[in-house]
């Protein structure tokens, strides 16, 4: 009986991802009703702080991979981080996300701890704090949790083990099982856990994406961020023949993935990935229409934004942080959404699973 239900779900998800334009437009009101019912009609902002592009890993798709010698490496000072936190607070964003390339050396772990202490001291509880800092030991994750971080994003990138192997070097730094294990640890420590995948990566099929959605359900995640793959010129996955059509079809697929996921897991938080906006200027707003309820405006100091290039054509690199807010307010009203200012905007799923 259960198997039958599972097969039906799998078939439906496959249909969602391959719907034509007309069928998709008919499906959207159903998705919107689920949004209203389970997460409400507000969109929540998280100020995104790109702390550093120094990374020990060498993922084949990523522009800040260790062996990309053309990347200009930086790490924000504590003052710069705190001014980005201040901007987020002043703009009433409610939460921040601290993201960086992966490092687990003591200096880095201690630096994050000192940032968290500073945030706690200044804003105790007034700002939600999400970390997106890769695989870390349980002791480190525990420490950061005790210092006030309460959500953690760690994308699995693909739930297909063979594909994971193709997208990463074959060594202990890029181990599929370790990544899954870290997702489990995050949950044990008590974080609201987020993951996600690349959409339209090399050799990935629609069936793989259906399995990704089922994977999210099987690990019972609280938050998802997923966006289209965009090939970066200084990576092994650069495809000089990539056309606008290729990007557009990945974009369409990414929106369908968001809607399918809202149907499958209606009470989780789903972020509108910035890579959507790199393909279409209205990408994030379209993601909200498709079922996303989180947007991460960039609050990184302008001079460093350009260096945090995971993929080319990154949007908003020329805007100052405060310019993003007015722009986003206007854009969201175009899709009939309001913003949950000064609210953490936690995933209802997290509280319902406790
Ligand atoms: N295209 C789109 N997204 C990418 N990321 C890394 N490289 C690319 C790319 N070329 C995503 C990964 C990572 C997140 C921070 O950025 O999924 O987890
Ligand atoms: Fe930095 Fe993949 S290249 S985590």
pLDDT bin (cut points 50, 70, 90) of residue 294 is very high
Atom of ligand 2 nearest to the CA of 62: 3
The residues pairing with 115 across neighbouring beta strands, listed in sequence order, are none
At 247-290, the pLDDT tens digits run 999 999 999 999 999 999 999 999 999 999 999 988 999 999 99
199 Cα: distance to centroid of ligand 1 (angstroms): 10
CATH architecture of 17-341: Alpha-Beta Barrel (3.20)
Residues 6+ apart with CB under 8 A from 126: 89
Q: Ligand 2 — pocket residues by CB below 6 A?
A: 55, 57-59, 62, 64-65, 101-102, 134
237 Cα: distance to centroid of ligand 1 (angstroms): 12
Among residues 248, 239, 311, which one has the least CA distance to residue 282? 248
CA distance 221 to 265: 9
pLDDT of residue 354: 76
229 Cα: distance to centroid of ligand 1 (angstroms): 7
At 84-121, the pLDDT tens digits run 999 999 999 999 999 999 999 999 999 999 999 999 99
pLDDT bin (cut points 50, 70, 90) of residue 322 is low
124 Cα: distance to centroid of ligand 1 (angstroms): 31
- Nearest protein Cα to ligand 2, atom 3: 65
Pick from 61, 63, 64 the residue to mutate for probing ligand 2's pocket: most ligand atoms within 8 Å of its CB.
Answer: 64
Atom of ligand 2 nearest to the CA of 174: 2
Residues 128 and 149: beta-carbon distance below 8 Å: no
Q: Ligand 1 — pocket residues by CB below 6 A?
A: 61-62, 155, 157, 198, 227, 229-230, 232, 275, 310-311
pLDDT over 80 (residue 80): yes
pLDDT over 80 (residue 320): no
pLDDT of residue 215: 98
pLDDT of residue 313: 81
The domains of the chain are located at: 17-341
pLDDT over 90 (residue 302): no
CA distance 254 to 16: 11
Q: What is the 8-class DSSP label of residue 252? A: H
The residues pairing with 98 across neighbouring beta strands, listed in sequence order, are 49, 131
Higher pLDDT, 251 or 329: 251
**SS3 state at 97:** strand
Q: How much is the mean pLDDT over the chain?
A: 94
61 Cα: distance to centroid of ligand 2 (angstroms): 8
pLDDT of residue 1: 66
pLDDT over 80 (residue 8): yes
Least confident of 32-41, 194-203, 297-306: 297-306
Ligand whose nearest atom lies closest to the CA of 66 = 2
Instruction: Kindly give the pairing relationship between strand 151-153 and strand 95-100.
Output: unpaired
pLDDT of residue 126: 93
Residues 273 and 287: beta-carbon distance below 8 Å: yes
Pick from 275, 278, 279, 312 the residue to mutate for probing ligand 1's pocket: most ligand atoms within 8 Å of its CB.
Answer: 275
Pick from 51, 62, 250 the residue to mutate for probing ligand 1's pocket: most ligand atoms within 8 Å of its CB.
Answer: 62
pLDDT over 80 (residue 329): no
């Amino acid at each position: 009986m259960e198997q039958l239900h599972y097969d039906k779900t799998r078939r439906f998800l496959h249909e969602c991802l391959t719907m034509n334009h007309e069928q998709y437009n008919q499906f959207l009101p159903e998705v919107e009703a689920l949004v209203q019912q389970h997460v409400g009609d507000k969109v929540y902002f998280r100020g995104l702080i790109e702390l550093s592009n120094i990374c020990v890993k060498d993922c084949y798709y990523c522009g800040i991979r260790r062996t990309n010698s053309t990347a200009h490496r930086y790490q924000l000072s504590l003052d710069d981080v705190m001014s980005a936190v201040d901007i987020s607070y002043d703009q009433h964003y409610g939460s921040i996300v601290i993201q960086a390339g992966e490092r687990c050396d003591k200096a880095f772990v201690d630096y994050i701890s000192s940032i968290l202490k500073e945030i706690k001291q200044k804003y105790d509880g007034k700002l939600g704090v999400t970390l997106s800092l890769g695989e870390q030991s349980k002791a480190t994750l525990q420490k950061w949790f005790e210092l006030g971080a309460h959500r953690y994003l760690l994308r699995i990138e693909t739930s297909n083990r063979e594909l994971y192997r193709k997208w990463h070097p074959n060594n202990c730094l890029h181990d599929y099982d370790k990544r899954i294990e870290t997702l489990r640890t995050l949950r044990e420590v008590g974080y609201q856990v987020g993951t996600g995948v690349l959409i339209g990566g090399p050799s990935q099929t629609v069936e793989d994406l259906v399995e990704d959605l089922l994977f999210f359900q099987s690990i019972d995640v609280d938050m998802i961020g997923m966006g289209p793959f965009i090939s970066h010129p200084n990576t092994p996955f650069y495809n000089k023949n990539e056309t606008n059509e290729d990007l557009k079809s990945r974009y369409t697929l990414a929106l369908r993935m968001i809607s399918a996921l809202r149907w499958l897991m209606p009470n989780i938080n789903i972020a509108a990935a910035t890579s959507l906006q790199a393909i279409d200027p209205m990408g994030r707003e379209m993601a909200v229409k498709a079922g996303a309820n989180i947007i991460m405006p960039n609050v990184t100091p302008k001079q460093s934004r350009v260096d945090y290039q995971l993929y080319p054509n990154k949007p908003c690199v020329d805007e100052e942080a405060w310019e993003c807010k007015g722009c986003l307010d206007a854009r969201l009203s175009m899709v009939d959404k309001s913003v949950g200012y000064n609210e953490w905007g936690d995933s209802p799923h997290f509280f319902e699973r406790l």
